[in-house]
Amino acid sequence: MTRSVLLAFSALVLLFVYAPLALVVLNSFNTSRTFEWPPPGFTTKWWSAAVDSEGARNAIVVSLEVALVATVIALVLGTMAALALQRFRFFGRDTVSLLIILPIALPGVVTGIALANAFLTMFGIELGMLTLVVSHATFCIVTVFNNAIARLRRLGGNLEEASMDLGAGTFRTFWSVTLPMMRSALLAGALLSFALSFDEIIVTTFTAGQGIQTLPIWIYQNLFRPNQAPVVNVVAAALIVLSIVPIWLSQKLAGTDESVAAAR
Amino acid sequence: MALRAGVLHRRPRLRLGLLLGPPMLWLGVLYLGSLAALFITSLWSVDAFGGNIERIWTLDNYRDLFTIDVYRTITVRTLLIAAAVTIIDAVLAFPVALYMAKVASPRLQRILVIAVLTPLWASYLVKAYAWRGMFASGGPLDAVGLSPGYGLAATVLTLSYLWLPYMILPMYAGLERLPNSLIEASADLGAGTGTTMRRVVLPVLFPAAVAGSIFTFSLTLGDYIAVKIVGGANQMLGNVVYDSFLTGNNLPFAAAVATIPVAAMLVYLTAVRRTGALDSL
């Protein structure tokens, strides 16, 4: 009895989760420019219009660039922080781990305006590509860190000690022993970081300045324009379909348990 | 090279310093410094004409924030929306997490975890946009007479939708750690479903729910895009921050408004510290 109620409720929640996404995909084929419901007919003309949209194409390139650079920075800093926190005991260790999650624990507007204010009033830097990438890297570090530290915790230090005993130095041990064992966790973290950056809009609106249009910014700016609505809808539908790729990859890389941990 | 590696090997403190230095420079100096600078800026003012910052100490921004009615209304509204979203998510997430962790077969469990995780990867903006389509006049909800239209109800629902996985996942992780034998033992000892829920499941569930609520609460406090997309003309704190920053050209006031969600989160985090939920983050 309880079981079937739970099952029915879970099914309803999943319906609640997927119905809006299905609507976007369905509407991308809707012949009606204003998304009449039920759709009067189906067409693929919006998809070809979207492929030809130069604004969307440029925005995708910008988003890919930002996500790539931010992820590389996050990979380096997140791995270093994870090694420091997992392999050493030191005063202030808890504060450091709190500091790493702070950029995602604090509301997005706070991180956004704090960084924008620092760039503008403290450093006197114009908002642009540099400030955007720095901001994205700041909140991406935690995703790499979480994956890396979970893996390090499981590995323990025995193999590294063995490597050192056999005469390998610090760098040699890291390069030949630690890094290969961390590889899949780092890839999963990088993937999450990439997706996080690619998708981010709130911090972006504060730190990108006027000239730079990432894909979320492009969608947001065209969202309220009726004549752009079908193209925006196609881009949204494409993003929904594409979001299956990272989840599939991360399942391959890490297995269910670690991807649960990573998403938190 | 060999010499340097040798030095590093013999001096763990140096190794720690080199490892921790760059991330701390980034997060401790740049990020924490930015937060401190934000607070300092909130104590400055702008000149009446150009929006240039004048570095004169003043509490005017905070006085405006507390005395002008519209800001008080927006603050209370934002906190209420955050509370409502958190409660709705907890109520929706609990049965799903329980089913996933304790009832479903291992195979179905894997599928459900993926089903819950997949929307986390879908773009935030796309999800908010999806609800704009659901609530649109002439849209599917309207067609069956169930659409509340663009407004606060739509905002609460959309935000609950956006952050729901953040509540399901910690609850699921918490319940998964609860051994089935404990539930069976409780039933064997004569407890009904209700008593088992209250005495066995709830103590595990509560810290997990608190961990999830940190995300639902914080993310809602900082959101200003969803309310723009489905909220009609309503404003939340984030809108005030963004508008003062960009259109109002008043960075100090924007900074002062931004300290409200920080203060709210600090109060919230201090309150939940006692539950031990922070350890499971």
Question: pLDDT band for position B87 (50/70/90)?
Answer: very high
Mutant choice from A10, A36, A223 vs B, greatest count of B C-beta within 10 A: A10
**What is the torsion angle, in degrees rounded to the nearest 10, for the CA atoms of residue B23, residue B266, residue B214 and residue A64?**
-40
Q: Averaged over A180-200, what is the pLDDT?
A: 89
Q: Averaged over A127-148, what is the pLDDT?
A: 93
For chain B, helix (H) and strand (E) counts, in that order, are: 15, 2
- Say whether both A60 and A24 belong to one domain: no
For residue A255, the model assigns a pLDDT of: 56
Q: DSSP readout, B58-118?
A: --HHHHHHHHSHHHHHHHHHHHHHHHHHHHHHHHHHHHHHHIIIIIS-HHHHHHHHHHHHH
Token pair, residue B63, equals 């006085």
Nearest to A239 among B126, B169, B218 (CB): B126
Tell me the CA distances in angstroms from B5 to A176, B2, B127, B129, one per residue in order. Answer: 14, 5, 50, 54
Question: pLDDT band for position A204 (50/70/90)?
Answer: very high
Nearest to B37 among A16, A122, A264 (CB): A122
In angstroms, rounded to a whole number, what is the distance separating the alpha carbons of residues B170 and B120? 14
* A201 to B31: CB separation less than 8 angstroms, yes or no: no
For residue B51, the model assigns a pLDDT of: 66
* A219 to B125: CB separation less than 8 angstroms, yes or no: yes
- Say whether both A216 and A255 belong to one domain: yes
Q: Does A223 touch chain B (CB under 8 A)?
A: yes
Question: Which residues in chain B have Cβ-Cβ distances shorter than 8 Å to A122?
Answer: 33-34, 37
- Say whether both A61 and A189 belong to one domain: yes
* Percent of chain B with pLDDT strictly greater than 70: 94
- Say whether both A186 and A149 belong to one domain: yes
In angstroms, rounded to a whole number, what is the distance separating the alpha carbons of residues B12 and B87? 47
Token pair, residue B165, equals 């996985």
Q: How far is A58 from chain B (nearest CA, A)?
A: 18
- Say whether both A21 and A136 belong to one domain: no
Q: Is the pLDDT at B49 greater than 80, yes or no?
A: no
Q: DSSP readout, A179-220?
A: HHHHHHHHHHHHHHHHHHHHH--HHHHHHSTTT---HHHHHH
For residue B89, the model assigns a pLDDT of: 95
Please say whether the beta carbons of A87 and B22 come within 8 A.
Answer: no
Number of domains in chain A: 2
Question: pLDDT band for position B122 (50/70/90)?
Answer: confident
- Say whether both A93 and A146 belong to one domain: yes
In angstroms, rounded to a whole number, what is the distance separating the alpha carbons of residues A66 and A193? 11
Nearest to B16 among A90, A137, A260 (CB): A90
- Say whether both A3 and A126 belong to one domain: no
Q: Averaged over B164-168, what is the pLDDT?
A: 90
Question: Which residues in chain B have Cβ-Cβ distances shorter than 8 Å to A3?
Answer: 103
* A106 to B225: CB separation less than 8 angstroms, yes or no: no
* B124 to A83: CB separation less than 8 angstroms, yes or no: no
A117-126, A248-257, B69-78: range with lowest mean pLDDT: A248-257
pLDDT in tens, A68-122: 999 999 999 999 999 998 888 888 888 888 888 888 888 889 999 999 999 988 8
ipTM of this complex: 0.84
- Say whether both A131 and A249 belong to one domain: yes
Residues 60-79 of A with CB under 8 A from B: 76-78
Q: What is the CATH number of the domain that holds A131?
A: 1.10.3720.10
In angstroms, rounded to a whole number, what is the distance separating the alpha carbons of residues A129 and B56? 31
- CA B139, B145, B149, B153 torsion: positive or negative? negative
**What is the torsion angle, in degrees rounded to the nearest 10, for the CA atoms of residue A248, residue A253, residue A259 and residue A261?**
-170
For residue B278, the model assigns a pLDDT of: 59
Mutant choice from A7, A109, A115 vs B, greatest count of B C-beta within 10 A: A109
Question: Which residues in chain A have Cβ-Cβ distances shorter than 8 Å to B119?
Answer: 17-18, 21, 243
- Say whether both A144 and A259 belong to one domain: yes
- Say whether both A175 and A197 belong to one domain: yes
pTM of the model: 0.86
- Which residue ranges form the domains of chain B, and what is each CATH number? 2-41 (no CATH), 67-280 (1.10.3720.10)
Rg (CA), chain B: 24
- Say whether both A36 and A61 belong to one domain: no
Nearest to A201 among B103, B161, B225 (CB): B225
- Say whether both A185 and A58 belong to one domain: yes
**What domain range includes position A26?**
1-43
